[in-house]
Each structure stands twice: as structure tokens, then as C-alpha cells.
Amino acid sequence: MPTPIFEVKNLDVRFSTPDGEVHAVKNANFRIDEGECLGVVGESGSGKSQLFLSTIGLLSGNGVATGSVLYRGREILGLSERKLNELRGSKITMIFQDPLTSLTPHLTVGAQLMETLRVHQRVPPDEAQRRVLEALELVRIPEAKQRMRQYPHELSGGMRQRVMIAMATVCGPDLLIADEPTTALDVTVQAQILDIMRDLKNELKTAIAIVSHDMGVIAGLADYVQVMRYGEIVETGSVDEIFYKPAHDYTKMLLDAMPRIDRPDRQGHAQLAPMPTGSKTLLDVRDLKVHFSVKASMFAKKKPLRAVDGVSFILREGETLGVVGESGCGKSTLARAVLKLLPKTEGAVVWCGHDLAPMTQEEIRKLRREFQIVFQDPLASLDPRMTIGQSIAEPLRTLKPELSRKEVRAEVSEMMARVGLEPGWINRYPHEFSGGQNQRAGIARAMIVRPRLVICDEAVSALDVSIQSQIVDLLVRLQAEFGMSLIFISHDLSIVRQVSHRVMVLYLGRVVELADRDAIYQNPRHPYTRALIGAVPVPDPKLERSKPRAKITTDLPSPLDTRAQLTFLKSKVIDDPDAVQYRPQLIEVAPGHLVAEHD
């Protein structure tokens, strides 16, 4: 057997904290050979990031790593900072989750890349320039020459992550460690980044270690997989073994918890109740527009940012409408405008036949017991100075002031039990709970007034997969119990498929497709919907390998540019960023299946 590029033996990582010692990584062993990709999966806090940070000496001050880390047979654990720096950034490189914080804001992209090259390989400037350009072209950055002169903040998230990969590969590394490289990115961009990494592995024979919580990402890229839990590697195997013949219960649980875009109604999960027939319309949103005016500089003319630009839909009682789209498509703005948390620019929101527009603040306030919202970040959406009991009781106290203290308490206890929180925890504070428990509290707060509509704004996006599936099951169960309608907003198309009766796809503030969930997933008509669905990684290695490569190769254009909304109808574009453009019409291609015009 040849010497592996990277080998880790009996690695232990411990942190000393004020609350005692934390054993973050327990006895890790693995090897990575040339051109191979090792995937490490685990939920937050499993120690998967610390495992790799410790191998290249990037632990924080209170951490100690023991064991052995061999790079091409040479021990590198405990090497001096100077010796490590020779390796780091040239032979062993890392890319992180957040590409903005990993780039220096005051240097141009080109300068940063050249610096890496010059520090490690002392190449003359013109050769450095040439190689940087090559590296940028390798990660498929369009107009690479111009990009070199730009600063990190001028690039989009996807472009920045490409620059990070270019930086990590410019010195020709043997090992690329990618720590959640696509977690902060949209699905279509994620698919492109994963493509680039696959090319690196196959063409340049770079060994890759990818750390991710997403089984789908791992399935598409890794050759070998390790599953981590509480610092321990509980299972190791080839990608096919792990995905098709998982041995450890935890691996099975992880795979089971992953929502599958190709299998919406799986055994062992709460089943979506069939769409109630003949129920009446609860919410009717007509041509809703929310525009913000944005000034590029102090003296520039104000331009409207069309966050929501003419969205219409109806929601029936007991129905779940899934809203999907990438970041910046106006999903959250739509939710807030419907709930009257943000002022709308135009259009109408009609609630049970009553237009909300002419109502006074006081009338709206009274109506709030009918519609509630669950937020993305469970910790941020609870007041840290209040007990969760107080937080859950708040809507009840303001919207049903006639209830006595005792009655409020009884209702809170009951609701806590229903969402799976121990009623005895009523006096505890959010910081004493995990993310999943806090999200249950957030759901309890929304449900306590028995609303007829609950909007879930990315309500499960910040949670680990196992918790995610529990919360999704909880929502589906509560819907069956209380019969409320849901608007389920998410960037995760797999989860939306699992919980929604109908699905609406947004692109830059406009609806591009709206249909029943099976119609939209099995027969997507709009090219954007197709690209979105195609980009979702599926936790099935064989399927991932046979998948065609991503089609969209650019990022979302700026929403300030009016041409952007016609990306899929190029034939009607007027080539002026401020011009009033043609509005693509929604066409009913089948009963209940609306698709925006496209080329």
C-alpha cells in the first residue's frame, strides 16, 4: 500500500472550558489517498469540524490535540507554527462555510490570490498573474480577468466561495479540506460548487476531505464516509456501504431523517393529511407588491428594489402552501407583508373576504390571533430575558386579555405538552434549551391562540436533520389536530415537498410556477423550477453519480436591474437596467398548474 496523503491515528481533542473538560474528538482514525474524497457527516457539535481544525493546528487556545497526524508519512501534529505555515495554504488547504469572513476585505481578489502564491512558491509576478487567472478559470468564474480587480464584497456568495476554492487550489495542494463549503449557499450555486470540487478530484487528483451535515452533499462527492456523533466516529465505510447498508443505528437514523425530494411520503414520518375538499378560501393575496427604495450612493437616484413584485395566490382552509426560492427571492418579505408586519406597496391581502388594507392598527391587532408566524432562528426569536412560559403566553395575554392568570398558565402548560415540551420547564430560559426545543417553544407561541393560519418562515432551516424531521412531523401533526392552514417557506425543496399540498416557486419577487406538489415535482414546466429541483442533492450515491451536471452557471442577477426578472424570457428584454420591462404572464398549462411565460 502506498503512503497515504493524509493519515490520522488515535486523534483526541479536548477543550477545557469553565464548565469542565469537553472531549470533542475521541480516538479518530482514518486515511485519505490521492484523488480520494473522504466525507465526514454528523450533526452540529459532533466534533467534525474540530477533527480537521486540530490536524492542521488551528484549534482555539483552550484545545489540546493528542495522537498522530501524518502528511505523506511525516508527523505534523505539534509542529511549530512556522513549519505548519509552509504546509497550510500550499499543500494542505481549507475552505470554510462563510466565504466572506475568510477573505480580507481591503485587498482585491487578485491580490489575495497572488499573495498566497508568492508567499508559498516565490514565483515572479507575471507568472503568478497567469497562474491565478488559470485558477480562477478552473473554478469557472466568468470574466476572470475583471474579477481579479474586484474586492470580495463586490462578489456574490457563490462567486466568493469559488474564489476561496481558487485560492485553496492555486498552489496545487495535495489535500483540500472543505468544512461545510456549501451550507451558506443556494441549491443551484451549491450544485455548481460541488461540480467544481468533483473536477478537482477527478482531473487534478486532489485528495478532498469534506465535512458536512448534508447527506446529499456527501453522497454526491465522497468515496468514503465517516459518521460522527458526540466526537466519536460511529461508522466508516465506502459511500455505497454507508448509504445502502448502514450498520449503525445512528447512521440509519440520519438517513431516515433526511427529507428526500424523490420520496415525499415515507414510512415512519407523519403523513400529510389529504387536502380537505370543498373548504373555503381563507386568504386571497392579489397582485401583492412590496418595494423598498434603495440608494446606491448618497447622490444616486433612488431605485425601487422589488422584493415582492406582483404575487397572487389563494390559500384554502386546512391547506399547506409551500413557498420555495433562493435567497433574495422575496419569500420572507412576502410572509411579513401578508401578516402586515411590513407595509405593502400595492395589491391586496384579503382575509376571509375582508380586505386588510383599510383596517386600523387596532383592528389588525385584534385579527392577529387568526394568523401567526414561526421564525427561522429559534433562539433569536425568543426574548432572552423572558422565560419560555412568558414568551409562549405573550400572544395570549395581549390577544385574549380576558383570561385569568391561572387560565393562561393552564393553556401554556397544555400547549407545551402538545409540542413536546415538558410543562415543568415553564420557568426556564431559552438559553437553557437546544435549538429544537426552542423551536418547539416558538411553535407553541404561534399555536397558543389557535390561529387559522401559521406562516413558517424557514422554520426548520437552522436545525439539525434529526431535529428538523421531528419539527416537520410536529407541524404536520398539529395541522391534522387543529386544522389550520400553513404557508411553509423554505429554500429546501425536499422538505417543502414533504409538507405542502401546493407549491409556489418564486424568482426575484415573482411567481414562476404554482401547482400541486406532485405536479410540480414530477412535471416541472418552468426552466427555473427544473434547475432548482435538479440541483437538490439526494442522499443516494448512485442517483447522484448519474445526475446530469448543473445547467445554470451564473448567479442570481441583481434585483435592482429590471432586466433580471426576464432571465427566462430573454426574447422580450429591453436592454436598459432602468427600463420598464415586459411582465411575463402566468399561463394555466393544466388545471391548477400555473407557469410563467418563458423562452
Partner 1 sequence: MIATGTSAANAEAMMSAQNVQGRSLWVDARRRLFRNKAAVVSMIILALITLAAIFLPLIWPYGYEDIDYALVSCAPDWWPDPDVMCHSGGMHWFGSDSVGRDLFVRVLYGARVSLAVGLVATFVSLVIGVTYGATAGFLGGMIDNLMMRVVDILYSLPFIFFVIILMVIFEQSFILLFVAIGAVEWLTMARIVRGQTLSIKEKEFIEAARAGGVTQGGIIARHIVPNVVGPVIVYVTLTIPSVILSESFLSFLGLGVREPLTSWGVLIADGANQLETAPWMLIFPAFFMAVTLFCFNFIGDGLRDALDPKDR
Residues that bind partner 1 (CB under 8 A): 19, 22-24, 44-46, 230-231, 336, 339, 341, 365-366, 368-369, 372-373, 375-377, 380-387, 391, 394-395, 398-399, 422-429, 431-432, 434, 442, 445, 449
In the bound complex, what is the minimum distance in angstroms from residue 64's beta carbon to partner 1?
16
Angle at 316 between CA 315 and CA 320, to 5 degrees: 70
In the bound complex, what is the minimum distance in angstroms from residue 504's beta carbon to partner 1?
21
For partner 1, the closer of residues 79 and 426 by Cβ is 426
**Burial bucket for residue 557 (CB in 10 Å: 0-12, 13-18, 19+):** middle
For partner 1, the closer of residues 11 and 144 by Cβ is 11
Per this entry, what is the length of the chain?
Answer: 599
For partner 1, the closer of residues 45 and 577 by Cβ is 45
**Burial bucket for residue 429 (CB in 10 Å: 0-12, 13-18, 19+):** middle
In the bound complex, what is the minimum distance in angstroms from residue 452's beta carbon to partner 1?
14
Strands 371-374 and 354-355: unpaired
Q: Are 435 and 462 in contact (CB under 8 A)?
A: yes
Q: Which residues of 482-511 are buried (b: 16+ CB within 10 A; e: fewer)?
A: eebbbbbbbbbbbbbbbbbbbbbbbbbbbb
What gap in Å lies between CA 520 and CA 378, rounded to an integer?
30
In the bound complex, what is the minimum distance in angstroms from residue 28's beta carbon to partner 1?
15
What gap in Å lies between CA 49 and CA 34, rounded to an integer?
22
Residue (of 503, 459, 456) closest to 484 by Cα position: 456
For partner 1, the closer of residues 200 and 211 by Cβ is 211
Report which residue type is found at 599: D
In the bound complex, what is the minimum distance in angstroms from residue 349's beta carbon to partner 1?
15
Q: Is 61 helix (H, G, I), strand (E, B) or coil?
A: coil
Cell numbers for 109:
481578489
**Residue 260: φ, ψ to 5°:** -115, 125
In the bound complex, what is the minimum distance in angstroms from residue 529's beta carbon to partner 1?
29
Q: Are 88 and 52 in contact (CB under 8 A)?
A: no
For partner 1, the closer of residues 150 and 390 by Cβ is 390
Residue (of 547, 496, 535) closest to 518 by Cα position: 496
For partner 1, the closer of residues 48 and 131 by Cβ is 48
Angle at 555 between CA 183 and CA 595, to 5 degrees: 100
What gap in Å lies between CA 15 and CA 31, rounded to an integer?
24
In the bound complex, what is the minimum distance in angstroms from residue 62's beta carbon to partner 1?
12
Q: Are 396 and 411 in contact (CB under 8 A)?
A: yes
In the bound complex, what is the minimum distance in angstroms from residue 27's beta carbon to partner 1?
15
For partner 1, the closer of residues 367 and 589 by Cβ is 367
Q: Are 471 and 442 in contact (CB under 8 A)?
A: no
Report which residue type is found at 179: D
**Burial bucket for residue 80 (CB in 10 Å: 0-12, 13-18, 19+):** exposed
In the bound complex, what is the minimum distance in angstroms from residue 375's beta carbon to partner 1?
5
What gap in Å lies between CA 491 and CA 493, rounded to an integer?
6
In the bound complex, what is the minimum distance in angstroms from residue 127's beta carbon to partner 1?
45
For partner 1, the closer of residues 72 and 428 by Cβ is 428
What gap in Å lies between CA 11 and CA 33, rounded to an integer?
18
For partner 1, the closer of residues 195 and 394 by Cβ is 394
Alpha carbon separation from 79 to 62, 70, 76, 177, 341 (Å, rounded)? 17, 11, 5, 19, 55
In the bound complex, what is the minimum distance in angstroms from residue 502's beta carbon to partner 1?
24
For partner 1, the closer of residues 306 and 445 by Cβ is 445
For partner 1, the closer of residues 459 and 496 by Cβ is 459
In the bound complex, what is the minimum distance in angstroms from residue 57's beta carbon to partner 1?
23
Residue (of 533, 499, 507, 588) closest to 321 by Cα position: 499
Q: How far is CA 304 from the centre of its chain?
A: 27
For partner 1, the closer of residues 403 and 543 by Cβ is 403
For partner 1, the closer of residues 22 and 356 by Cβ is 22
In the bound complex, what is the minimum distance in angstroms from residue 331's beta carbon to partner 1?
15
